[in-house]
Amino acid sequence: MKLLGTPTSPYVRKVRLMLLEKNIAHEYLIDPPREPGSLVARVNPLGRIPALVLDDDTCVFDSPVIAEYVDSLNDSPILIPRDNALARMRVKRWEGLADGIMDSALAVRNERLRPEEKQEPANITLHNNAISRALQFAEGELGNNPWVNGDRLSLGDFALFSTLVYLDLRQPERDWRSAHPKLLDWFGRVAARPSAQTSLAEQ
């Protein structure tokens, strides 16, 4: 299978980390959708990344769908709980929180890329406030747990890790480390994993 994406996309990083962590053979193709000749629009009708192309040319798109599919391919490890509805909801909620932060961070970036006279400061403030609340929520929910879902590594960890890497890239002025020491400790544990080291080296 092939994963199409870019190293800066947090949604791509999330599924790339899952593939690496589960040791699933795949080819990672850096393929910016806006570049002439990109394969993305040809395989994904939405023209977005990540796009996972299976060996029979079926395209799996939208990162939560890819994450679900990838986790079903083997049990080493199981990253989305399968036999406990409450645990599964919690992991998917962590993914939803992380994706929501990513969505807001992208909205802020897109607003700032507009000519200054056309920017909407209220929109930037709205999304930045959402990010701040979400990070505070994550800090409280994490508590003293080693992973976001307690004592088991999960999709939630890779989703939130990808989000924080993106914030470091696009909002370096946001000092989330000083404000959220528990997130900082947790971030270090995820960053030390071989899958994360491989992903970070690809930036």
Percentage of the chain lying above the pLDDT 70 cut: 100
Q: How many domains does the chain have?
A: 2
Residue 21 and residue 65 in one domain: yes
Domain span holding position 6:
2-72
Percentage of the chain lying above the pLDDT 90 cut: 99
Domain stop point among 72, 102, 124:
72
CATH code for position 65: 3.40.30.10
pLDDT category, 29, cuts 50, 70, 90?
Answer: very high
Q: How much is the pLDDT for 203?
A: 79
Domain stop point among 29, 46, 72:
72
Q: Is residue 42 part of a domain?
A: yes
Q: How much is the pLDDT for 180?
A: 97
Q: Is the pLDDT score of 163 beyond 90?
A: yes
Q: How much is the pLDDT for 38?
A: 96
Q: Is residue 199 part of a domain?
A: no
Q: Is residue 78 part of a domain?
A: no
Residue 104 and residue 156 in one domain: yes
Q: How much is the pLDDT for 170?
A: 94
Q: Is the pLDDT score of 33 beyond 90?
A: yes
Residue 129 and residue 59 in one domain: no
Buried b (16+ CB within 10 A) or exposed e, 119-129: eeeeebeebbe
pLDDT digits (tens, 9 = 90+) for 88-135: 999 999 999 999 999 999 999 999 999 989 999 999 999 999 999 999
Residue 59 and residue 93 in one domain: no
Domain stop point among 72, 105, 123:
72
Residue 125 and residue 45 in one domain: no
Residue 119 and residue 177 in one domain: yes
Rounded to the nearest integer, the mean pLDDT of the chain is 96
Residue 105 and residue 186 in one domain: yes
Residue 123 and residue 149 in one domain: yes
Closest CA to 190 of 14, 39, 7, 8: 14
Residue 182 and residue 91 in one domain: yes
